[in-house]
Chains A and B, each alone.
Chain A
């Protein structure tokens, strides 16, 4: 799993390895509490293998999938 922006600070590293398969509830349960809460922000997007999910709550990730947690991008 890849953590971008300030989510990397909350996760303690820019990348984490979690055991799959994972759905949204499983992912949240596997993360540190502050990070788990932060990703509920509706502005946080989720991508699986580089493809953005329209609805992150519908996450379904398997063993070798790369999940990216993307906070809102910085402005100018």
Chain B
């Protein structure tokens, strides 16, 4: 079961994870990561923009690579775009597999790539002003973990 989506409205991860788990009967384990907008000092909102022709196809390509690399039964990958408030879920990745290591590693793999290499641009609003978020060195080292 494969479910890859971009969402423009607030979502409740539990409403996705329950049906996803049910859709993979016989699984041995399911691993889920939910990312939320941090309550960083002074941050009022986070806005994610994407580029339609690249962003969702890029997520499908990432899912293909996760299925190639790990032995998975199912993969759920959902990412928000638009304006989010601190505390709102921004990303949810869930992997179902026969064995835990595949599920856990697939989620870690997808998250590292979503954070550093997917076509999203983020800006945050502080004191009423928008500021673009630049790439971080940490993102490159996160990706390098998977290059062996």
Measured CB to CB, the residues of A under 8 A from B are 2, 4-6, 9, 14, 47, 49-50, 52, 66, 68, 70-76
Given A50-B54, A72-B135, A76-B142, 19 more A-B residue pairs with CB atoms under 8 Å apart are: A2-B51, A4-B49, A4-B121, A5-B132, A14-B49, A47-B51, A49-B53, A50-B53, A70-B51, A70-B54, A72-B134, A73-B119, A73-B121, A73-B135, A74-B120, A74-B123, A75-B134, A75-B138, A76-B116
Contact A75 B121 (CB under 8 A): no
- Specify the chain B residue showing the minimal Cβ separation from A66: B53
Residue A75 contacts which of B51, B119, B123, B139 (CB distance < 8 angstroms)?
A: B139
A47, A49, A74, A75: which has the most chain B beta carbons within 10 Å?
A74
User: Which chain A residue lies CB-closest to B35?
Assistant: A76
Q: Which label, helix, strand, loop or mixed, suits the secondary structure of the B interface? A: mixed
Q: Please tell me if B125 contacts chain A, counting CB pairs below 8 Å.
A: no
* Cβ contacts under 8 Å, B118 to chain A: 73
Chain A proximity of B4: nearest CB distance (Å): 17
Q: How far is the CA of A69 from the CA of B107 in the complex (A)?
A: 30
Could you tell me the distance in whole angstroms from the C-beta of A70 to the nearest C-beta in chain B? 7
24 contacts between A and B (CB under 8 A): A2-B51, A4-B51, A5-B121, A6-B123, A9-B132, A14-B49, A49-B53, A50-B54, A50-B57, A68-B53, A70-B119, A73-B117, A73-B119, A73-B121, A74-B120, A74-B123, A74-B133, A74-B134, A74-B135, A75-B116, A75-B139, A76-B116, A76-B139, A76-B142
